[in-house]
Amino acid sequence: MQTAPSPRREIGVFDSGVGGFTVLRELRALLPTARLRYLADTAHAPYGNRSPEDIRARSIAITEHLIEQGAELIVVACNTATAHAIEALRARWPALPFVGTEPGIKPAVAATRNGHIGLLATPATAASARLRALIERHAGTSEVVVQGCPGVVDRIEAGDLDSTELRALVARHCEPLRAAGVDTALLGCTHYPLIEPLWRAALGPDVKLLHIETAVARRATDLWAPGPESPALHIETSGDPVQLRCWVERVLGWCESDVRHWSAAP
């Protein structure tokens, strides 16, 4: 006799901070009856400036917490955590499905007209062996210009989505892509779609801009078997819950969301 799924079962989603909300937004649309739990590790953001060892340790601690709360599927809604930690997570919990977030090199190759692709990422993602392997495996004859973008995530976390300083920073990071003549650019961080108009303005109207959030959410949907659970959204943060709740209400318009504090070593 088959056991019915527990009504407490959830999909756990995590990111270094607010960037993964772009994936969570897609998940809410695709799975309106699911129980979702999002953890923003804002006290340790951005991951892009941290060592691979630190990123793995944070990812393991967060995943342990999400499993304790009932997660039966984990979405790593962070390119940097995927690059440096998802293999360790899969090795530690081999029976648990994980969905990672990686730059869509294959879709970019299919979209480019001139074979010049740009990738905007955090410094840690830009330097990762996983990204190099991804490019080697899928880029073919296309040239991929990888640009690390220090400072951008910090400003987004602070709620700075359209200042003169941020526009100048984005323009500076886009300059190598413009100089290389890319016609297709990838947003290689889940934070970056939150300021998509700034990237578009800096790259120009002739550059096609791609990101991956919908594909990640669809992959999670494919792995999730709906059960008797009631829809719910739980948001937790290792940082200031009041500050994050204000960010969620202002940027996403989710005024019904409660945000709670979570902390764990390391």
User: Is there a binding annotation on residue 79?
Assistant: yes
User: Is there a binding annotation on residue 191?
Assistant: yes
Measured from the Cβ of residue 211, the count of other Cβ atoms closer than 10 Å reads: 23
Nearest C-alpha neighbor of 101 from the set 36, 34, 188: 188
Strand pairing report for 232-237 and 259-261: parallel
Whether residue 246 lies in the annotated active site: no
Catalytic residue among 78, 174, 246, 255: 78
Whether residue 174 lies in the annotated active site: no
User: Is there a binding annotation on residue 80?
Assistant: yes
Q: How far apart are CA 150 and CA 265, in angstroms?
A: 26
Catalytic residue among 174, 189, 246, 255: 189
Nearest C-alpha neighbor of 123 from the set 111, 114, 131: 131
- Is 39 in contact with 76 (CB distance < 8 Å)? no
Strand stretches in the chain, DSSP E: 10-15, 35-40, 71-76, 98-99, 116-121, 143-148, 184-188, 208-210, 232-237, 259-261
Please give the structure tokens belonging to residue 14: 């995590």
User: Is there a binding annotation on residue 15?
Assistant: yes
- Is 37 in contact with 66 (CB distance < 8 Å)? yes
CB within 8 Å of 119: residues ≥ 6 apart: 103, 108, 126, 131, 144, 145, 146, 147, 185, 186, 188
User: Is there a binding annotation on residue 82?
Assistant: no
Residue for token digits 């970019």?
108
User: Is there a binding annotation on residue 253?
Assistant: no
User: Is there a binding annotation on residue 48?
Assistant: yes
User: Is there a binding annotation on residue 54?
Assistant: no
Catalytic residues: 78, 189
Q: Which residues are annotated as a binding site for substrate?
A: 15-16, 47-48, 79-80, 190-191
Q: Which residues are annotated as a binding site?
A: 15-16, 47-48, 79-80, 190-191
